[in-house]
Structure 1
Amino acid sequence: MIRTLSFLALMTATPALAEEVSTGAGAMLRGLDKVNGETTDIKLENGGSASYGPLSVELTECRFPQGNPAGDAYAFLTIREQDNDGVLFQGWMIASAPALNALDHSRYDVWVLRCITSEGD
């Protein structure tokens, strides 16, 4: 009974929590080389790709809450190792919670900082 009531409360609250999103022109990512501690910022347009060490990073799309381009950006990324056909990571990364869905690589980390808006980011 309690589970049913909790589920009903969640279902009725969901539309109120929904937030409209906008699509950015691209994303600003950050890469970390864990061996030497160096960070590198990577600017990508939607549909673009870049190399970071032996990694190939592809951005499909970056989205952010409408009216708040600095808030909770999330981007759909595909990350591969260049000498390997396998995908190391594919999915949505959230800027405010990078560990929630993260790249698992022994040497490199990549995460989303923010979306690039048409305002000349």
Structure 2
Amino acid sequence: MTGGRTLRAHILVAALAAGTIALGGAAYAQSQGRRQPPPPPSPDDGTKISQPIANFSGLDKITGRIIAFDVAINETVQFGALQVTPRVCYSRPQTIAPLTTTFVEVDEITLDNKIRRIFTGWMFADSPGLHAVEHPVYDIWLTACKATSNDVPATAVKQ
């Protein structure tokens, strides 16, 4: 058992020494005026691009049909008994990892013609199940943010 501990101790010392050398090399490079590569951008570092169109997909669970539809920001589109209103839609440049988000409000029109808010919040295109609208009859999720759309009239797009 002591042989195993000794081996682990030697491995730990070697790993610590390698880390110290790596950190020392970075510090030396900085002291010599060499620049270290910048860290990868974070989601909130100003690289988000505000888009005027949010693209959603909707599933009608009764018929099994999936329909893609575009909605201009601050406009409302009805999908079945649901009204979808995106407030903002952000994407990122193609040169960095995608992160497409929208802040959306979804209302349900009940059988007695009343409007009831069933969802308010952020949706993420890369995690459709995380913040998708789940309804007994309909599911809605964000698929993209776009600059233009053939489905939305140009007068509805506010730049």
Is 1:18 the equivalent of 2:73? Answer: no
Query: Following superposition, which runs of at least 4 residues in structure 1 exceed 4 angstroms of deviation?
Result: none
Shift of 1:82: 1.8
Cross-structure match for 2:138: 108
Is the radius of gyration larger for structure 1 or structure 2? 2
In the TM superposition, what whole-angstrom CA distance separates every residue of 1:2-39 from its partner, at most 9, and x where no partner exists? xxxxxxxxxxxxx8551320101111111000111101
Unaligned runs of 5+ in 2: 1-38, 151-159
Cross-structure match for 2:90: 63
Higher relative contact order (CA closer than 8 Å, sequence separation 6+) = 1
Match of 1:75 among 96, 102, 111: 102
Q: Distance in 2 between matches of 1:69 and 1:117?
A: 18
Which residue identity is paired with 1:62?
C
In the TM superposition, what whole-angstrom CA distance separates every residue of 1:52-110 from its partner, at most 9, and x where no partner exists? 00111111111012346993211111111123332111111000101111212111000
Aligned length: 106
| Kept after mapping to 2: 8 A contact 1:28/1:41 | yes
Q: Which has the higher helix share?
A: 2
Q: Which has the higher strand share?
A: 1
TM-score by length of 1: 0.76
